[in-house]
Amino acid sequence: MSQISIPEEYIKAGKIAGEVRESIRKGSLVGMSLLEICNEVEGMFRKKGSEPAFPCCSSVNNTAAHYSAILDEEYVVKEDDIIKLDIGCHFNGYLVDTAVTISYNSEFDSLVQATEASLYAAIKAAKEGVPAGYIGKVIEEVAENWGFKTISNLSGHSIERYKVHAGISIPNVWTPANQMLKVNTVYAIEPFLTVPNGAGYVVEGKAKPIYALVTRKKTSDKRLDSFADMIWETRRTLPFSPRWYRDQYPKEELKKMLDRLVKIKVLRSYPDLIEARGGYVAQFEHTIVPTPTGAIVLTQV
Ligand code: MN
Ligand code: MN
């Protein structure tokens, strides 16, 4: 029998992320701007002693993922929106990742329920030695039974210290050759489902809401170096939002520095991801640790 050992920080981060997710889920987001939502989530993480593992993502309607409030954010949530709130926090780099879909329009009820059901079926199937591709098969089968499509080019992932995507994919579609789930390894499982006339895959959007440091190499510009140093001090290589540095720099200057640092490959920028045919998308996500008999769900409350 393999010994289960999970660092305490994962347990604490999982509990906090689950609590924050449920507290946002309970309230109404209608009339709130995406900026207010992101600030609230990130503020709750900090108040509870953790740091965001990545910027709070609030992806609306046909935007599937990776949209966080931008510097010029103006969007206000409407009654008919379907919102994927994808959040995570960390202690000393031990991070968790969890998501919920929130909608107030009953038209989306079955899409939302099907997606949540596919996550729980996947978690039930996840244990030591199960091929990651089999998890994709389970997700795809649940989606099809409900009459929906999965988003084939978004997937769950292994998690390591300071690494949100640590190399191993947990696909959302049946994938033959694949790695087996291991004990004492942390994984995020995150099905994304869309409507039958959606394309079933995402393409990159135009927004650049999220950035991360990729190298510590110096530039020839002291101001850029000091910005990159500050990112290293506060984030290491974890993703960040430009919003978090808005107090230190005028907005236009911040934008210029980000563009320059991306151009010279000190930073990378993550675009938002949009359903290719405009299909509305739902997503649910938990962070788990497989055991020989099942899975420990770190982000369950
Ligand atoms: Mn996530
Ligand atoms: Mn994830």
The per-residue pLDDT for 2 is: 64
The per-residue pLDDT for 105 is: 95
The per-residue pLDDT for 24 is: 96
Instruction: Quote the CA–CA distance of 55 and 35 in Å, as a whole number.
Output: 11
Calculate the alpha carbon distances from 171 to 14, 33, 118, 134, 224 in Å.
Answer: 22, 32, 12, 9, 38
Ligand 1 center–CA 155 separation, angstroms: 10
What stretches in the chain show pLDDT beneath 50? Answer: none
The string of pLDDT tens digits covering residues 149-176 is: 999 999 999 999 999 999 999 999 999 8
Ligand number nearest to the C-alpha of 283: 1
pTM of whole model > 0.95?
Answer: yes
The string of pLDDT tens digits covering residues 189-217 is: 999 999 999 999 999 999 999 999 999 99
Ligand 2 center–CA 73 separation, angstroms: 23
Q: Residue 280 pairs with which residues in a beta bridge?
A: none
Ligand 1 center–CA 57 separation, angstroms: 8
The per-residue pLDDT for 75 is: 98
CATH number of 8-205+274-297: 3.90.230.10
Instruction: Quote the CA–CA distance of 205 and 221 in Å, as a whole number.
Output: 30
Residues 37 and 29: beta-carbon distance below 8 Å? yes
The string of pLDDT tens digits covering residues 274-301 is: 999 999 999 999 999 999 999 999 999 9
Ligand number nearest to the C-alpha of 58: 1
Ligand 1 center–CA 254 separation, angstroms: 26
Ligand 2 center–CA 49 separation, angstroms: 22
Instruction: Quote the CA–CA distance of 247 and 254 in Å, as a whole number.
Output: 10
Ligand 1 center–CA 66 separation, angstroms: 9
Give the start-to-end residue ranges of the domains of the chain.
Answer: 8-205+274-297, 210-270
The per-residue pLDDT for 209 is: 98
Residues 187 and 125: beta-carbon distance below 8 Å? no
Ligand 1 center–CA 186 separation, angstroms: 13
Ramachandran category for residue 16: left, alpha or beta (phi over 0 → left; psi -120 to 50 → alpha): alpha
Element at 9 (helix H, strand E): helix 8-26
Here the tokens at position 285 are 């996500």
Ligand 1 center–CA 78 separation, angstroms: 23
The per-residue pLDDT for 1 is: 54
* Best CA proximity match to 171, nearest among 163, 181, 162: 181
Q: Which residues are catalytic?
A: 86, 97, 157, 165, 190, 285
CA dihedral 94, 64, 111, 175 (to 10 degrees): -70
Buried b (16+ CB within 10 A) or exposed e, 105-122: eeebeebbebbbbbbebb
Instruction: Quote the CA–CA distance of 297 and 160 in Å, as a whole number.
Output: 16
Element at 227 (helix H, strand E): helix 222-235
Give 81's contacts (C-beta < 8 A, 6+ positions apart): 60, 61, 103, 104, 105
CATH class of 210-270: mainly alpha
